[in-house]
Amino acid sequence: MSRGGEAINLSDLSGEQVSEWLQSFDTVLCDGDGTIWQDDTAIEGAPDVLNALQQRLGKAVYIITNNGLKTRQELFERSQRLGFQLPSDRHIISPTAAIADYLVQSPEFDAKRHKVYVVGNAAIARELRRHGIDSYGAGESEELAPGDKWQDFAAREFGNPKAAENVGAVVVGWDEYFSYCKMARACHILCSNPSSAFLVTNRDAVHKYPGFCIPGTAAFVAGIEACAERDALEMGKPNPLVLEPLTKSGALRTERTLMIGDCLKIDVGFASNCGMLSLLVGTGRYSSLSDVQREKGKLPQPDVYLPRLGDLLPYL
């Protein structure tokens, strides 16, 4: 159904056609923000649909998010609180957990010896700590003091070789305290330790709200990449890397997986990169199928579209 052609409104299909479509996948990956919840409120019908997909149709369901402001356990607790009945927190795929899992499994990173410098929020540090990894910098402010010059800062902070010693990774996430000092520290560590990991929670460029827009993580990491002359490894959608634990274990076959989301670039792009089916819902940026079709040729197109995920419930 579709697979690269014109997006189909699922509501226009017969019950038999929808039933056939439902049989085309075994696993469901579902985005969080804008797809099944808004902040701390479930979108109407979304919990019922995901629960029915698991309990009535026997689908394996995972929530996959680029939200790097919470740990996997915190996101699981939110899902439970909002009525989503996932089997365990292992059915949450988040950037903070993906980063921690990656470092634990990396032969280059030794948790007994290495620490992590975080340009980002405190959730990253909490997730790393749960995995036995020490970190510093997360959720902290670091700016030039009044009257201080960058030369003074660099000499004081980087003059000692120990400033970059045993730092096995630099992790970048959304950071409301982002500053020149943080960028300089990350640059110094990455240039001093060529073997250190350089990871970013996601490359979301901008967060759009009804009355304003704010920079996303991509804006922060771009500056560090430029001065360190290295590219960060993205640990969120649309990078297929985040699915490797599931694909390698055999728990997920991408050709039998449906990705549900509200963003063409991130969610549908992720499905395209991984060879998965895609369902776009209109509870995010694209409130109608015509909005989606206007992006054809510029952004990936979904296989199917629904105004909201709850519209699928009558077919389950």
Residues tagged active-site: 31, 33
H or E stretch at 78: helix 72-81
* 234/272 Cα distance (integer angstroms): 17
110 is in an annotated binding site: no
40 is in an annotated binding site: no
Closest-CA residue to 202 (of 146, 163, 241): 241
Q: For residue 125, with 0-12 CB atoms within 10 Å meaning exposed, 13-18 middle and 19 or more buried, which class applies?
A: buried
207 is in an annotated binding site: yes
265 is in an annotated binding site: no
β partners of residue 200: 172, 234
Phi, psi of 257 (to 5 degrees): -125, 140
33 is in an annotated binding site: yes
Angle (CA) 259-214-262 rounded to 5° is 15
Query: Residue 137: how many CB atoms within 10 A of its CB?
Result: 21
As annotated, the binding site for Mg(2+) includes 31, 33, 262
Q: Residues comprising the binding site?
A: 31, 33, 207, 237, 262
Binding residues for substrate: 207, 237
